[in-house]
């Protein structure tokens, strides 16, 4: 792919994540093109229909969320720290707002199963879109296996089951509740100016100061409220 074509593709993908994160997948392609700084024809040359672009964005976000869920589940943190840390990282990117509709159906199905068995841990996380490939500027398309929301939901269900078994969650919390937390996040480009990197327990705010102390950014406060709603008292 030529340098200019790759640059246009990356601009379109970045703009699509922002636009769909703000307005949902019903947003028009014209707004994606405007945000990317390219003509609508440029968008359609790479993505012949909006459905193709939507599928690409959903696949990338699912792949990243899955890689992060694997890392949280097998990374050695405590049950609550692993779940809360995952949600903090996911919310800070806005990726949960871009989950495909079938993810919610899978979450409901898994929520009716009393005990979840985690997939076998991999030797290494295979795909992290926002990791090495993102830093290199590559616009690689995730494989179907990486982008399967069923694997993501299985990993999330295992995180929830472990936290529940450790007595860290309120009774009745299911993977569907965790998905709701993901989808309640502030859009990534709106949150970044006032939000620092998340910690395992949540966010550390770097917004405006009140009485000499940093004031919680809206996304920080929202996440903390949602996490408090999940955790056992």
Q: What pLDDT score was predicted for residue 153?
A: 93
Q: Are the C-beta atoms of residues 195 and 60 closer than 8 Å to each other?
A: no
CA 177 to chain centre: 15
pLDDT band at 111 (very low <50, low <70, confident <90, very high): low
Q: Which residues pair with 195 in a beta bridge?
A: 205
| Domains of the chain listed by start with CATH number | 1-48 (1.10.10.60), 57-112+143-187+217-232 (1.10.357.10)
Work out the average pLDDT over 28-35: 96
Q: Are the C-beta atoms of residues 181 and 230 closer than 8 Å to each other?
A: yes
- Count CA within 13 A, CB hemisphere, residue 123: 0
Give the list of residues 6+ apart from residue 93 with CB closer than 8 angstroms, or none: 64, 130, 185, 188
Per-residue pLDDT tens digits for 32-61: 999 999 999 999 999 999 999 999 999 999
Per-residue pLDDT tens digits for 181-230: 888 765 444 433 333 334 444 433 334 444 555 555 666 788 888 899 99
3-state secondary structure at position 183: helix
Give the list of residues 6+ apart from residue 3 with CB closer than 8 angstroms, or none: none
Per-residue pLDDT tens digits for 122-175: 444 444 444 434 433 445 677 777 889 999 999 999 999 999 999 999 999 999
Work out the average pLDDT over 8-27: 92
Q: Rounded to two decimals, what is the model's pTM?
A: 0.75
- Is the pLDDT reported for residue 17 higher than 60? yes
Q: What pLDDT score was predicted for residue 87?
A: 93
Label residues 98-132 b or e (16+ Cβ within 10 Å = b).
bbbeebbebbeebbeeeebebeeeeeebebbbbee
3-state secondary structure at position 93: helix
3-state secondary structure at position 142: coil
> What's the sign of the alpha-carbon dihedral 129, 133, 136, 138?
negative
């Amino acid at each position: 792919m030529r340098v200019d074509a790759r640059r246009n593709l990356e601009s379109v993908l970045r703009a699509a994540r922002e636009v769909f994160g703000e307005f949902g997948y019903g947003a028009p392609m014209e707004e994606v093109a405007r945000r990317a700084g390219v003509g609508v024809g440029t968008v359609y040359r790479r993505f012949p229909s909006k459905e193709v672009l939507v599928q690409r964005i959903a696949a990338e976000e699912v792949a990243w969320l899955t890689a992060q869920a694997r890392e949280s589940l097998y990374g050695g943190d405590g049950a609550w720290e692993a779940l809360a840390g995952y949600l903090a990282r996911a919310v800070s990117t806005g990726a949960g707002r871009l989950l495909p509709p079938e993810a919610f159906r899978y979450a409901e199905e898994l929520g009716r199963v009393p005990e979840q068995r985690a997939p076998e841990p991999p030797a290494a996380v295979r795909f992290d879109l926002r990791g090495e490939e993102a830093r290199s500027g590559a616009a690689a398309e995730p494989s179907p296996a990486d982008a399967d929301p069923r694997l993501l939901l299985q990993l999330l269900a295992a995180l929830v089951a472990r936290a529940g078994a450790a007595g860290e969650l309120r009774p009745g919390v299911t993977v569907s509740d965790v998905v709701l937390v993901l989808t309640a996040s502030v859009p990534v480009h709106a949150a970044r100016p006032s939000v620092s990197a998340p910690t395992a327990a949540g966010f550390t705010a770097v917004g405006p100061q009140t009485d000499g102390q940093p004031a919680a950014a809206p996304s920080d406060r929202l996440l903390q409220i949602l996490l408090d709603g999940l955790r056992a008292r």
